[in-house]
Amino acid sequence: MRTLENSVLSTMMRTPLTLSHLLERAGKIFPTSEIVTRMPDRSLHRYTYADFYRRSRALAEALQKAGMQPGDRVATLSWNTSAHLEAYFGIPVAGGVLHTLNLRLHPTDIAYIINHAEDRFLIVDDVLIKLYEAIKDHINVEKVIVVPLTGKPVPEGLTSYEDFLATATGDFSYPDLPEDTALGMCYTSGTTGKPKGVLYSHRSMILHSLGSALPDALNLGQSDVLTPVVPMFHVMAWGLPFTGIMVGCKIAMPGPHLDAVNLLDLYESEQVSKTAGVPTIWMGVLQALQKEPTRWTKLLPMEMVVGGAAAPEAMIRAYDTFNLKVVHAWGMTEMSPLGTVSRIKQNLAGSDPDILYALRACQGMPMPMVEVRAMNEHGEVPWDGHTMGELEVRGPWVAQSYFKQESERDKWSADGWFRTGDVVTISSEGYVKITDRTKDLIKSGGEWISSLDLENLLMGHPAVREAAVIAVTHPRWDERPLAAIVLKEGASVTTEELRAYLEPKVAKFWIPDAFVFVDEIPRTSTGKFLKMQLRDKFKDWNWE
């Protein structure tokens, strides 16, 4: 009889899947590839992968010298720039955890997130120093490093990023990191309650990068020029900084300039071939192109990945007229983020154009290694394209828990699937289509707004008896909040007063664009707000 040992065949090397490999590859194989950044003054900063390699390693060494221990969190409060890219690599290759902070959140939430993550170091762009000043008395970080994007002197008591890099001598050597070591973290507000931290590992990010580059995913190679418009504080810019550096392509970063004209200028001057962002950005770019229709002739026939919210079919069609291809993808912070991408399968390529557009407008097919199923009260729903269920996912780049948040265990099923909160149908061809959302949240321009938080705040106003906040489709922002208000007997309040009341309490973009005064809010038999009825009533709201 064969022993167990004999039957275990020796297979491949157990080389850990860690980021140091990508950084070494960048420095050795692609030293001349370019990285371009639009600076705050709109000038273009250029350098090569050779510079990026040297400076990322210098950051890694400087952090170690400053006492960073494996697993320490290093936060960034930054736009998409080459310095941020250095942090993306320099922090994790030294064993630290890159914690990207969403600069659009209310300062109170940013401070909460920094404290919850127990960040030890903070790297902040000088153009965001005001935001840092708004939170500095509420956080406890050991060292604040300021990236001098404008060249202005760094405020007293803070360290200049350039001085910090200068503390490195150049003899950095990579620590041996197991592939499951945490590489980065990102907080999501895409669920109810406080923001929740998701930790990515070196392994998950390497596998995600390999998957993302595939032709039927984001289709990236070394001859591409990549512009991630999606901020680097949103799920690691959808992993694109890692995928881009892995394939060795030129990267053109928009810095703080995300408006349509600056983006079109960048696409034109750098001859960008791949770009990615939320629908709001692409709606703006589309309008600018329609105003100046000859402009597109100076662009490459780019692929524009859109995700974070549903891509309207009309937008996909409109871009086709400019020879620009919208590729629709779906993902989540909890999924690194790529889950599905909508590409046309070969056997469907000859279908009627309307069918093809409908396919491109749905969320698409699961990525390799990502499993999907949709569940309703009877169990898994059939893949028939019309039975709805909550989408659940499983795979090597899907989170298995939230950081220090045991109360959220019910987001994972007993058999280990993650419940997304998105309600979908799945077709027999494997295309996922989102039809609704179970989370009571509004997604405006790619950013979450909690309807529950708004309701609680509004119900704290002395004139308000009840408030229900719903998402209503908006042509520019995808969704905007509308508040239905029931006043207390004899009380009165104006829309302006309600706005002014909310202003100091929430981020500006949270404030509802519409307040509607109603006699009562419809309720379910159990007394909860019947939001479906409200959503239906206000679905054709005129925002003008």
Inter-residue contact 249 to 33 (CB < 8 Å): yes
Q: Which two tokens stand for residue 21?
A: 């490999």
- Binding of ligand AMP at residue 332 (CB under 6 A)? yes
Position among 330, 417, 477, 501 found at the interface with ligand AMP (CB under 6 A): 330
Q: Which is nearer to ligand AMP, 228 or 307 (CB)?
A: 307
Helix and strand numbers, DSSP H then E, in the chain: 17, 26
Q: Which is nearer to ligand AMP, 239 or 331 (CB)?
A: 331
> CB of residue 379 vs ligand AMP: minimum separation in angstroms?
22
448 included as an active-site residue: yes
> In whole angstroms, how far apart are CA 365 and each of 219, 372, 422, 432, 439?
15, 9, 15, 6, 23
Q: Which is nearer to ligand AMP, 68 or 98 (CB)?
A: 98
Q: Which is nearer to ligand AMP, 197 or 248 (CB)?
A: 197
- Binding of ligand AMP at residue 333 (CB under 6 A)? yes
> CB of residue 6 vs ligand AMP: minimum separation in angstroms?
48
> CB of residue 95 vs ligand AMP: minimum separation in angstroms?
26
Q: Which is nearer to ligand AMP, 95 or 331 (CB)?
A: 331
Catalytic residue among 100, 181, 188, 275: 188
Q: How many residues bind ligand AMP (CB under 6 A)?
A: 20
> CB of residue 429 vs ligand AMP: minimum separation in angstroms?
18
> Beta-strand (E) ranges in 209-307?
225-228, 250-253, 274-277, 303-306
* Cβ neighbourhood burial of 214 (10 Å; 0-12, 13-18, 19+): middle
- Taking alpha carbons only, the member of 48, 20, 14, 21 closest to residue 34 is 48
> In whole angstroms, how far apart are CA 202 and each of 111, 391, 396?
26, 26, 11
Enumerate residues 416-475 that contact ligand AMP by CB under 6 A. 420-422, 434, 437, 443
User: Considering only 45-53, 73-81, 293-301, 324-332, which stretch makes contact with ligand AMP by CB under 6 A?
Assistant: 324-332
- Binding of ligand AMP at residue 403 (CB under 6 A)? no
Q: Which is nearer to ligand AMP, 317 or 437 (CB)?
A: 437
In whole angstroms, give the CA distance from residue 254 to residue 58.
Answer: 24
- Estimate to the nearest angstrom the gap between the alpha carbon of 463 and the chain centroid: 38
- Binding of ligand AMP at residue 109 (CB under 6 A)? no
Q: Which is nearer to ligand AMP, 316 or 454 (CB)?
A: 316
> CB of residue 189 vs ligand AMP: minimum separation in angstroms?
7
> CB of residue 55 vs ligand AMP: minimum separation in angstroms?
29
Inter-residue contact 84 to 78 (CB < 8 Å): yes
Angle (nearest 5°) at CA 49 between 44 and 53: 120
334 included as an active-site residue: yes
Residue with tokens 């298995």: 400
> CB of residue 235 vs ligand AMP: minimum separation in angstroms?
5
Give the CB-side neighbour count of residue 416, counting CA atoms within 13 A.
5
Position among 33, 76, 188, 209 found at the interface with ligand AMP (CB under 6 A): 188
> In whole angstroms, how far apart are CA 523 and each of 466, 532, 537?
12, 10, 14
Q: H-type helices in 66-118, by residue range?
A: 82-93, 107-117
In whole angstroms, give the CA distance from residue 32 to residue 234.
Answer: 28
Angle (nearest 5°) at CA 421 between 379 and 472: 130
Catalytic residue among 79, 448, 477, 510: 448
Beta partners for residue 371, in sequence order: 394
Enumerate residues 303-322 that contact ligand AMP by CB under 6 A. 307-310
- Estimate to the nearest angstrom the gap between the alpha carbon of 155 and the chain centroid: 30
Q: Which two tokens stand for residue 115?
A: 């404290």
Catalytic residue among 443, 477, 479, 531: 443
Catalytic residue among 61, 86, 270, 334: 334
- Binding of ligand AMP at residue 33 (CB under 6 A)? no
Enumerate residues 346-385 that contact ligand AMP by CB under 6 A. 363
297 included as an active-site residue: no
544 included as an active-site residue: no
In whole angstroms, give the CA distance from residue 328 to residue 340.
Answer: 9
> CB of residue 279 vs ligand AMP: minimum separation in angstroms?
8
Active-site annotation, residues: 188, 334, 443, 448
Residues making contact with ligand AMP (CB under 6 A): 188, 190, 235, 307-310, 328, 330-333, 337, 363, 420-422, 434, 437, 443
